Chain A
Amino acid sequence: MNSHGTERIRKPLFTPGTYILLTLMGIGFSFGLTRMFAGLSAVTNLDNFFPWGIWIAVDVACGVALAAGGFTTAAFVEIFGKHKFKPLLRPAILTAWLGYAMVAIGLMFDLGRFWNIWRPLFNWQGNSGLFEVAMCVMAYLTVLTIEMSPSFLEGFKERIDQNKAGSKLLQHLEKPLLVIHRAVKVVLPIFILAGVVLSFMHQSSLGTIILIAPTKIHSLWFTPLLPLLFLMSAVMVGFPMVFIESLVASKVFGRISEMHLLEKMAKLVPWFIGLYGLVKFGDLVVRFNSIDFIGNPVYTITFVIEILAGVVLPFFLFTRSWVRRSRSLLFFSSLLVIFGLVLNRINVYLVAYDPPFATSKYFPSIGEIFFTVGMVATIMFLYRIVVTFFPVVQRCTCGECAARYKREEEQRKNALSTPWIRIIQGLALAMLLVFVLFYTFVHKQALAGTSSAFNWANKVTPVKNAPVELSPSPHLFRPEGYANLYMLDNEILNTATDFYEPVRFTHRTHDVVTDGNCGVCHHRFSMSEEDRIGENVKEFHMDFDVRIANAPCGSCHDMEDIYVQKCSTCHWLPGEPDDRNRLGLKGAYHQQCIGCHEGQPNAQRAPVDCLSCHHPYTPDHDALVQLSQDPDIQEVTSSCLSCHDSVGQDILHSAHWTWQGHSPSIRGHEHDVSLGRKTVFNNCSLAMGSDNVTCAQCHIGFGWNDEGFDFTDPQKIDCLVCHDTTQTYRKGKGGLPLESIDLVQVAASVGRPSRSNCGLCHFNSGGGANFKHGDLEPILADAPDDFDVHMGRYNLRCQDCHTTYQHHIAGESLASPAVEGRVQCVQCHGSAPHGISGMLSRHLDDHTRSVGCETCHIPFIAKETPTRVSVDFSRAGQDLAPEYDELGNSTYDKKIGSQKWAKNLIPEYLWYDGTREAHMIGDKIDPSDIVDLNRPLGERIDPSARIYPFKAHTAVQPFDTEQSTLVVLRFEESFWDHYDWNQAISEGMSRIGLEYSGSYDFVETRMYISIHHEVAPTRETLGCADCHSQSAVTCRRCHGQEMGEELPAHAYRIYPDAQKRMDFQKLGYQGDPALVGGRLYINPKR
Chain B
Amino acid sequence: MNFTRRLFLKHTVAAGAGFFSIFKKKAHAQDHQPVTNELQVGCLVDTTLCIGCRQCEKACNLNNEMPKPEVPFTDKSVFREMRRPTENALTVVNEYVGNPSQDQPQRANTYTKVQCMHCLDPSCVSACIVGALTRTKDGAVVYNPVICLGCRYCMVACPFQIPAYEYEDALTPLVQKCEFCADFSQGTGADPSCAKACPTEAILFGKRTELLELARERISKRPDRYIDRIYGENEVGGTAWLYLAGRSLEEIDLLELPGDAPPRLTEKIQHTIFRFGAIPLAIYGALGAVMWHVNRKQDSEQDMEGDQNE
- A-side residues, CB < 8 A to B, are 4, 35-42, 44, 46-49, 51-52, 75, 78-81, 83, 110-117, 119-120, 123-132, 134, 186, 189-190, 192-194, 196-197, 200-201, 204-205, 208-216, 224, 227, 353, 355-358, 409, 413, 418, 421, 425, 429, 432-433, 436, 439-440, 443-444, 446-449, 451-454, 456-463, 465, 495-497, 499, 574-575, 577, 580-581, 583-584, 586-587, 589-591, 594, 598-599, 608, 610-611, 616
Point out the residues of chain A lying under 8 angstroms from B142, CB to CB.
457, 460
Q: List 12 A-B contacts (CB under 8 A).
A: A38-B170, A44-B167, A80-B290, A111-B151, A112-B151, A128-B128, A193-B12, A215-B159, A357-B161, A449-B32, A454-B134, A587-B49
Cβ–Cβ contact A40 & B167, under 8 A: yes
Pairwise interchain contact B190-A51, C-beta atoms closer than 8 A: no
Any A CB within 8 A of the CB of B77? no
User: Which B residues lie within 8 Å of A432 (CB)?
Assistant: 12, 15
Asked if B58 and A112 sit within 8 Å, CB to CB, the answer is: no
- With an 8 A cutoff between CB atoms, is B248 at the interface? no
Contacts of B182 in A (CB 8 A): 460
Cβ 8 A contact of B19, one of A117, A436, A457, A458 = A436
Report which of B152, B159, B210 forms a contact with A216, defined as CB distance below 8 A: B159
CB <8 Å contact, A575 and B136: no
- Closest Cβ of chain B: how far from A609's Cβ, in Å? 8
**B98 CB contacts on chain A under 8 angstroms:** none
Interface status of B106 (Cβ within 8 A of chain A): yes
Tell me if B148 counts as interface (CB < 8 A to partner A).
yes
Flag if B34 contacts A113 (CB, 8 Å): no
Interface pair B218/A581, CB less than 8 Å apart = yes
Question: Measured between alpha carbons, how far is A587 from B298 in the docked complex, in Å?
Answer: 84
With A and B bound together, what is the CA distance between A205 and B273 in angstroms?
10
Q: Which residues of A contact B253 (CB under 8 A)?
A: 357
The answer to whether B152 and A457 have CB atoms under 8 Å apart is: no
CB atoms of B149 and A119 under 8 A apart:
yes
The answer to whether A81 touches B127 (Cβ under 8 A) is: no
User: Of the candidates B51, B128, B156, B271, which one forms a contact with A52 in the assembled complex, judged by CB atoms under 8 Å apart?
Assistant: B156
**CB contact list, B115-139 vs A, under 8 A:** 123, 125-132, 134-138
Contact status A594-B200, CB under 8 Å: yes
Give min CB distance, A204 to chain B, whole Å: 7
Which residues in A have their C-beta under 8 angstroms from that of B287?
A: 75, 79, 193, 196-197
A112's partner among B150, B184, B214, B309 (CB-CB below 8 A) is B150
Taking A433-B19, A457-B142, A461-B188 as known contacts, 14 extra A-B pairs with beta carbons closer than 8 A to each other, sorted by chain A number, are A40-B167, A112-B149, A116-B149, A119-B149, A127-B126, A193-B12, A204-B273, A443-B271, A443-B277, A499-B55, A581-B214, A581-B218, A587-B49, A589-B199
Q: How far is the CB of B296 from chain A (nearest CB, A)?
A: 10
Q: Decide: B265 and A581 in contact? CB cutoff 8 A.
A: no
Within 8 A of A (CB), among B181-231: 182, 184, 187-191, 193, 196-197, 199-201, 204-207, 210-211, 213-214, 217-218, 221
CB of B187 within 8 A of CB of A190, answer no
B79 at the interface (CB under 8 A from A): no
Which residues of chain A have C-beta atoms less than 8 A from B1's C-beta?
A: 413
Bound CA–CA A42/B221 (angstroms): 54
User: In this assembly, does B74 line the interface, its C-beta being within 8 Å of a C-beta of chain A?
Assistant: yes
Partner among A117, A443, A496, A591 whose Cβ is within 8 Å of the Cβ of B196: A496
Say yes or no for B107: interface residue by CB 8 A criterion: yes
- Which single member of B31, B155, B255, B267 contacts A51 (CB below 8 Å)? B155
Distance of A577 Cα from B4 Cα, bound (Å)? 75
Contact A460 B290 (CB under 8 A): no
Residue pair A425, B8 in contact (C-beta under 8 Å): yes
Q: Are A409 and B310 in contact (CB under 8 A)?
A: yes
On chain B, the residues within 8 Å of A353 by CB distance are: 156
Partner of A123 from B15, B147, B263 at Cβ < 8 Å: B147
B257 at the interface (CB under 8 A from A): yes
Given contacts A196-B287, A440-B276, A456-B147, contact A446 B156 (CB under 8 A): no
Interface readout for B11-51 with A: 1 if CB under 8 Å, 0 if not?
Answer: 11001000100010000011111110001010000000101
Q: Give A436 to B148 CA distance when docked, in angstroms.
A: 26
Instruction: Kindly list the 4 A-B residue pairs having the minimum CB-CB distance in the complex, ordered from nearest.
Output: A112-B150, A453-B131, A587-B201, A462-B138
- Could you say which of B41, B126, B152, B295 has the most chain A C-beta atoms within 10 Å of its C-beta? B152
The closest CB in chain B to the CB of A82 belongs to B294
A132 & B149 in contact (Cβ 8 Å cutoff)? no
Q: Let me know if B137 and A461 touch, CB within 8 A.
A: yes
Partner of A457, one of B123, B135, B153, B205: B135
For the complex, give the distance between the alpha carbons of A463 and B49 in Å.
Answer: 26
Q: Kindly provide the distance from the CB of A422 to the nearest chain B CB, expressed in whole angstroms.
A: 8
Query: A39-B170, A211-B265, A357-B253 known; A128 and B129 CB under 8 Å?
Result: yes
Q: CA–CA, A1037 to B187, complex, Å?
A: 80
Contact of A590 among B4, B59, B201, B297 (CB under 8 A): B201
B200 touches A211 (CB 8 A): no
Q: Is the CB of B58 within 8 A of A499?
A: yes
Q: Decide if A611 touches B106 in the complex (CB within 8 Å).
A: no
Cβ-closest chain B residue relative to A186: B4
Nearest chain B residue, comparing its CB with the CB of A121: B130
The answer to whether A116 and B266 touch (CB under 8 A), given A49-B161, A51-B155, is no
Q: CA separation between A215 and B171, bound complex, in Å?
A: 31
- Is A497 a contact partner of B197 (Cβ separation < 8 A)? yes
Query: A128-B153, A357-B82, A460-B136 given as contacts; is B276 within 8 A of A134 (CB)?
Result: no
* A116 and chain B: residue at smallest CB distance: B149
Min distance, Cβ A147 to any Cβ of chain B, angstroms: 15
Contact between chains at A453 and B130 (CB < 8 Å):
yes
Assembly CA distance A119 to B149 (angstroms):
8
Query: When the two chains form their complex, are residues A213 and B310 in contact, meaning their CB atoms are under 8 A apart?
Result: no
Are B137 and A460 closer than 8 Å at their CB atoms? yes
Contact between chains at A224 and B170 (CB < 8 Å): no
Residue of A with least CB distance to B8: A425
Tell me the smallest distance from the CB of B219 to a CB of chain A, in Å: 12
Pairwise interchain contact A131-B129, C-beta atoms closer than 8 A: yes
Given contacts A436-B277, A499-B197, whether A112 and B173 have CB atoms under 8 Å apart is yes
Cβ of B152 and Cβ of A598 under 8 Å apart? no
Question: Contacting A128 at CB < 8 Å: which of B104, B126, B159, B187?
Answer: B126
Are A117 and B262 in touch, CB under 8 angstroms?
no
Q: Is the CB of B214 within 8 A of A580?
A: yes
Contacts of B84 in A (CB 8 A): 48, 357
Which A residues touch B156, using CB under 8 A?
51-52, 210, 212-213, 216, 353
A41-B168, A208-B269 given; A440·B23 CB < 8 A: yes
When distances are taken between beta carbons in the complex, the residues of chain A under 8 Å from B127 are 128-130, 209, 212
Name the one of A49, A114, A186, A189 contacting B291, with C-beta atoms under 8 angstroms: A189
Residue of A nearest to B114 (CB): A357
B169 on interface, CB distance cutoff 8 Å: yes
Which residues from chain A contact B135 at a C-beta distance below 8 Å? 457
B73 and chain A: residue at smallest CB distance: A499
Cβ–Cβ contact A580 & B267, under 8 A: no
With known contacts A36-B170, A49-B161, A495-B196, A208–B201 Cβ distance under 8 A: no
Closest Cβ of chain A to B93, distance in Å, is 13
Please measure, in the bound complex, the distance between the C-alpha atom of A436 and the C-alpha atom of B284, giving whole angstroms.
11
Q: What's the Cα separation between A79 and B131 when bound, in Å? A: 37
Docked complex Cα distance between A111 and B175 (Å):
12
> Is B159's CB under 8 angstroms from A213's CB?
yes
**A47 to B148 CA separation, bound complex (whole angstroms):** 18
Question: Cβ of B275 and Cβ of A463 under 8 Å apart?
Answer: no
- Is A52 a contact partner of B280 (Cβ separation < 8 A)? no
B295 touches A81 (CB 8 A): yes
Using CB atoms, name the residue of chain A closest to B49: A591
The reply to whether A114 and B150 contact each other, CB–CB distance below 8 Å, is yes
Asked if B66 CB lies within 8 Å of chain A CBs, one says no
Q: Pick the residue among B132, B266, B269, B309 that contacts A4 (CB under 8 A).
A: B309
B137 x A117 contact (CB < 8 A):
no
B138 close to A463 (CB less than 8 A): yes
B86 an interface residue at 8 Å Cβ cutoff? yes
Q: Is the CB of B136 within 8 A of A462?
A: yes
Bound Cα distance A433, B152 (Å):
32
A461 near B34 with CB under 8 A, answer no
Contact status A116-B136, CB under 8 Å: no
Residue B90 at the chain A interface, CB threshold 8 Å: no
